[in-house]
A and B are shown apart, each in its own frame.
Chain A
Amino acid sequence: MEDRTDGRNANQLRPLGCSRNILNRAHGSARWSQGNTIVLAAVYGPKSGTKKGENPEKASFEVIWKPKTGQIGKQEREYEMILKRTLQSICLVNVHPNTTTSVIVQVVGDDGSLLPCAINASCAALVDAGIPMKHLAVSISCGLMEEGSIILDLTKSEEEKLKAFAYLVFPNSPLSVIDKVHSSKEEPIEHGIITSVSYGAMPVSGYFDCLERGRAASAAISEFLRRSLQKQSSDDASRAAQ
């Protein structure tokens, strides 16, 4: 197996960093870094009214993606759409009907795996804002090498060289006080997949390998996310009131 440019092996992730509550005005904010890819996400809590095409019986989300430099183009619009659909599926949309929650994503550094980093950051920011969610979402990028091996957490140079790679978003199993009484035959929640964006052509077996590997890695990321969210207790009162 050839070495990766930064010395990691195939299953190694870049160092993760997560800090919450970094902005004063925003209701929820988080900064997520995976190596040199750093994303800042801010959430403004539910405000009344929905946009024209949205369902007023549910809460709707509005995502604004801000690139580091340059104009906003199609790539940014695509990321906004993917992020919006992902967040809509993890949040409880029936709790606050006819409201709009804004999520603003600012790219601080881009070294590959930008969309997974943004999804993780947005998830942490939503938790910081106190938006009701079903479970957390963790995201990972998986690349398929020529000989069929999988590498995780791609850098920008790897993304450009690889023939095919995918961004995957998995749910995080919710911790519950109530013991699980249902039978063990039922598939655990982590086996589901929320979002998958693939680039390039890959064989079906390769894609399923990516899923397996990504799912295993997402367990580690979700552990890290949960721990970092638990550490910082939210001591301030609701900032939406200020």
Chain B
Amino acid sequence: MEQRWANTSRLTINEKQFIEEALRSEIRVDGRRLYDYRRLTIKFGRYRCLPRATILSCKCYHLRFSLFCCNCREDGSSEVQLGETHVMAFVTGQLLQPYRDRPNEGTLAIFTEFSPMADPSFEPGRPGEAAIELGRVIDRGLRESRAVDMESLCVVAGKSVWAIRVDLHIIDNGGNLIDAANIAALAALSTFRRPECSVGGDDNQEIIVHDPEVRDPIPLTIHHFPIAVTFAFFHEGNTLVIDPHYKEEAVSGVRMTVTVNSNGDVCAIQKAGGEGILSGDVMRCLRIASLKASEMTTKIKEAVETYNAEVALKKVKRHPSLIAQKITVPDVEMKEASFQKTKELSADMENSPNQTSTSLTTTKDKDTNASIGRPLNWDPYSSSAPAIVSSSTLPELVGTSKDANEDQMMQTDEEYDPNLKKDQIASATGVSSGIHKQNSPPKSLKDAVKPKHKRKKNAERGAR
């Protein structure tokens, strides 16, 4: 029964001949040119939950440290899509004993999972040849080329170091798994943050791992980005393509993976079996690969930068909400002010994009649902209305609220209206605090707005 399934990845003779013939005219299965990569999308984990710390006492080394569960924070997870290939990477860290011959270096381990969902021929259980080969190539590229700084991961030499573990899950096999998995590992390592720890305590032997809420976690030091570029050869080495599709992989007899970085250093070369390639062709591949590597490095770095900027934004907005929640306001006056404010805001909902962020607040209050449909008599002098939000935060909210809309298209939940939408947007963009600032303590902000509002209203009445 299993054999039938394994055979589904074998191509028919017609398909094989078609692919080979088309390549003679430099035409590929999906319309790319010979040296083109497929479209690359890098996404990072955006889910967060409250971290937990448990106290663990380890008698043998007289160390008492709190083991922090790193796997639910947003750091260290990436999802890479290279055309049809889909790979996820998760990075976690733990404090462990170092290896005997390297007492002052941390460790990096890469685990590869060829999930049976990626390909009907992938079997669960023991990893096959391809899985082991992929793991080794990425390991050589990342670890043995010293891309990640190991010595900074040492906490107490000889006793306790950070052991970083990278789990690669292949979700969808569209070909060229090595390149995609390498990018995923690099992206995840770039965004991984380990908690800060210091040595202290009574006998200077205790390791204290600080809560990430208290002290910002630290990123890993990555010296260079080794990028894997896979080549597939056809027609006895006369035609070579980059980033082979899984159908091209099945047709070609020879494959070679070259791991280079943007400095031009060769980190690893893998050519396992198959027909021989001329050494001139190998040199040509190296030159092409170094060009591709610099392109890929910029793409990864851009994606990481964008993500880090989002995370930093989230951190900035957090503090005001924590303070604002403590203020309470009497209800009666508040309702009136909120009603008027939201009527004004809804008048300008279509006019200015700046209001999109505040329009989200209107959906939160229960009494605004009625106000949006009514005819609006207010003179839209509402340039004064968003005085609640400082000018610096508004444009940022605009950018992220657009993301919220895009994500909401994916999430089709319409139940449990007002409160749930808030959570939805919050979890979608991760800019929860920014919107919380306007929603969850609406009392405090409206309290601030109230006097201005009444003044304007009186001024307008006085003018008429």
Chain A interface residues (CB < 8 Å from chain B): 5-9, 12-19, 23-26, 29, 33, 35-36, 38, 40, 42, 44, 47-51, 64, 66, 68-69, 100, 102, 104, 106, 108-111, 155-157, 220, 223-224, 227-228, 231
Contacts and interface: CB of A to CB of B under 8 A. Distances in A.
Contact of B413 (A17, A36, A47): A17
Interface string B101-121: 000000000010101111110
User: Which 8 A-B pairs have CB atoms at the shortest separation, nearest pair first?
Assistant: A49-B1, A42-B117, A15-B424, A104-B117, A36-B47, A17-B411, A24-B84, A16-B413
Contact of B49 (A7, A66, A111, A224): A111
A69 B71 contact: yes
Contact of B167 (A24, A26, A35, A69): A69
Interface residues of B, number: 46
B290 to A, nearest CB: 30
Contact of A25 (B120, B428, B440): B120
A7 B440 contact: yes
Nearest to A17: B411
Interface of A is mostly: mixed
Contacts of A224: 412-415
A127 to B, nearest CB: 15
Interface of B: 1, 4-5, 45, 47-50, 52, 71-72, 84, 86, 88, 90, 92, 111, 113, 115-120, 124, 165, 167, 169, 171-174, 410-416, 419-420, 423-424, 427-428, 440
Contact of A36 (B52, B120, B420, B427): B427
Contacts of A18: 411-412
A13 B428 CA distance: 15
B423 A6 contact: yes
27 contacts: A5-B50, A7-B419, A8-B419, A13-B416, A13-B420, A14-B427, A15-B420, A16-B411, A16-B413, A25-B172, A35-B427, A36-B72, A38-B47, A48-B1, A50-B1, A64-B116, A69-B92, A100-B1, A104-B115, A106-B169, A110-B72, A155-B49, A157-B52, A223-B415, A224-B413, A227-B412, A228-B412
Contact of A108 (B5, B52, B88, B92): B88
A23 B117 contact: yes
B118 A25 contact: yes
Given A36-B49, A47-B4, 20 more contacts: A15-B411, A15-B420, A15-B423, A16-B413, A24-B84, A25-B117, A25-B119, A25-B173, A26-B172, A36-B72, A40-B171, A44-B116, A44-B117, A64-B116, A68-B90, A69-B111, A100-B1, A111-B47, A224-B413, A224-B414
